[in-house]
Amino acid sequence: MTLTTRPRGTNDVGPGDIELWHKLEEKIRQVCAAYGYSELRTPMFEHTELFQRGIGEATDIVEKEMYTFVDRGERSLTLRPEGTAPAVRAYLENNLGAGALPVKLYYYGPMFRYERPQAGRYRQFTQFGLEVLGSSDPLLDVEAILLPLELYKACGLSGFQVEINSIGCPKCRPSYRQELVEYFEPHVDRLCSSCRSRLHRNPLRLLDCKVESCQEVLAGAPQIGRHLCPECSAHFAQVLAYLDALGVDYKLNHRLVRGFDYYTKTVFEVTSAELGAQNAIGAGGRYDGLVEELGGKPTPAVGFAVGVERLLLALQGQDKFQAEPAAPHVYLVHFGGESKLRAAQVAYFLRGQGLWAELDYLERSIKAQMKAANRLGSRYVAIFGEEELGRNSIVLRNMRDGQEQEINLQDLEQLAKILGECGK
RNA sequence: GUGGGUAUAGCUCAGCUGGUUAGAGCGCCAGGUUGUGGCCCUGGAGGUCGCCGGUUCGAAUCCGGUUACUCACCCCA
C-alpha cells in the first residue's frame, strides 16, 4: 500500500494541473523581470543551525516542524522550511552585496514543514518569494508588497486584502513588550493556556490569538503605535505615504504580528476571501537584523513570500486563471505496416519543424484513431491510405470544417506550412 | 500534537433497518459504418467494497482497532 501512496501532505502535479503551474511560473518570471529581480536558487536543505539562528529557537517551526536529519558525515541538515534564511546565507556566502545595492532576488521552489495537512497547507509546498538587501528605503517595503500584488492581478485574482503593521525595532520593541506584559499580567486567569505560556516568552504573539476570552482582554491592550521610536515611526509613515500615492488599497492592523523572530519595522500579509482557514496567500516584512545575526555586516532588508498552492487554490475558486489545453497540429492516421512506416517518417519531419504530430501506437481502427484525434483537439488529420500512398500523397482533413485535400508527400514543406498556419 | 467527517469500478457517487451473481453516470475498449471524428444505439473489460479482527447461519452494511484522505484547532505561505 505504501508503495502506491505518496507521503502525507505531498502532492503529485501531472497532466491536467501542470499546465496551470507552468502558466503561473511564466507570470512570476514576467513580473520579476519588470521589477528587476533576478532568480536565486539555493539548495533544498541547509545546515540546521541556519534555521535555528535565522527563524528563532522559540518559534513553532524550529521547535516542532522541521524535517531534520543527520547525514553520513554526521552533519545535521534540515529541509528548508522557508526561503529567507537560505537567501541571506547565499547572499553572504557569494558576497552578493559587493556590487551595486540594493540586491533584488527572488526564489521559487518547494519548502518543507512537518504539519498536519489541511486545505491550503501541505508538508511539501511551494513558495515564491523575494528579498531585497542593502537598503532601508521604505519604497522597497512598498515594492515588496507591490510585486506580489502585481502577480495576483496578472493572474486575474480579485478579492484579496492587504494588511500592514509595524512591529518596531530592537530599540523600541522592548518598552512595548514590557507594557504588554504589564497589561496582561492582571488578566492572566482569563487567558487561554497557550497565551499564558507565551506571555513572558513572546507577548507580541498574544495579539493575534483567536480565543474568545483572550479577545476580550485584547480589546483594551495597548497598541504599538505610541511606542515606535522616531526612526520606526517615520519609516512606517513613509511606507503608508507611498502606498497612498500609488493607490494601493490596504488595511492597518495593529494586531498583525509575524511568526518569525527576524522581522522588524514593517510587516504585512495578504489574504484571499476564496480560501478557508488558511487564507494567507502571501506575507512578509522587513528584517533589518537578520544579515548581521547570520554573521554579515549590518544590512537592512525586506522580503515577501507567496504560497503558490494557496494562490492556485484561490484562482481555482474564481475560475479565472485557466491554461488553454495544448492540441496537436495534426494526427497521422495510418493502417499499420507500410502506411505506419510512412506516417512515422512524416511525423519525424514535422516534429523537427516544431509541430506537434501525433499518431496511433496501438494498431487501432481508423474510427478509433479519428476519435483519438478529435479528443486531443487536433486541428488536422492526415490519412495515410493505400490508394493515396500509391500516388505518394495523403488526405489532409480539417477537423473543424471537415474539408479534405490531397497533399503530395514530395512537398513536406508545404504540409508543414499549412499546419503551422492553422492558427494555434 | 488535539478534535470532527469520509473510505464501494479510472472519476463522481448509489447501495434503505445485514440476505443470493455489488450497481449507475461519465471515462476506457470494441461493434453498428471491412478508409473518416463529434450525435445516437449495442456490447465488453474493469472492484481483495481501505486494511485487520469481532458479532452472525450470512457483513459493503453492525462493533472494535488500524491506516489513509479530508476539514478544523495550534501555527503558518
Specify the 3-state DSSP secondary structure of A254: coil
The set of strand B positions with any atom below 7 Å of a protein CB reads 1-3, 28-31, 33-38, 50, 67-77
- CA dist A352 and A345 (Å) reads 11
End-to-end CA distance of chain A: 43
- At A152-168, the pLDDT tens digits run 999 999 999 999 999 99
Cell of A65: 516542524
Q: Which regions of chain A carry the CATH code 3.40.50.800? A: 330-420
- At A282-314, the pLDDT tens digits run 999 999 999 999 999 999 999 999 999 999 999
Using the structure, give the distance in angstroms from the CA atom of A390 to the C1' atom of B53, rounded to a whole number.
70
Superfamily classification of domain A330-420 = Anticodon-binding domain (3.40.50.800)
Q: How high does pLDDT run on average in chain A?
A: 91
- CA dist A306 and A126 (Å) reads 8
Q: What average pLDDT does the segment A392-416 reach? A: 93
Q: What is the CATH number of domain A2-172+228-318?
A: 3.30.930.10
Specify the 3-state DSSP secondary structure of A8: coil
Residue by residue, DSSP assigns A186-232 as GGGGGS-HHHHHHTTT-GGGGGG---HHHHHHHHTPPPGGGG--HHH
- pTM for the full model? 0.91
Nucleotide nearest A280 (Cα, C1'): B77
Cell of A261: 523572530
Q: Which regions of chain A carry the CATH code 3.30.930.10? A: 2-172+228-318
Using the structure, give the distance in angstroms from the CA atom of A330 to the C1' atom of B76, rounded to a whole number.
48
Query: Which is more confidently placed, A59 or A194?
Result: A59
- CA dist A130 and A135 (Å) reads 14
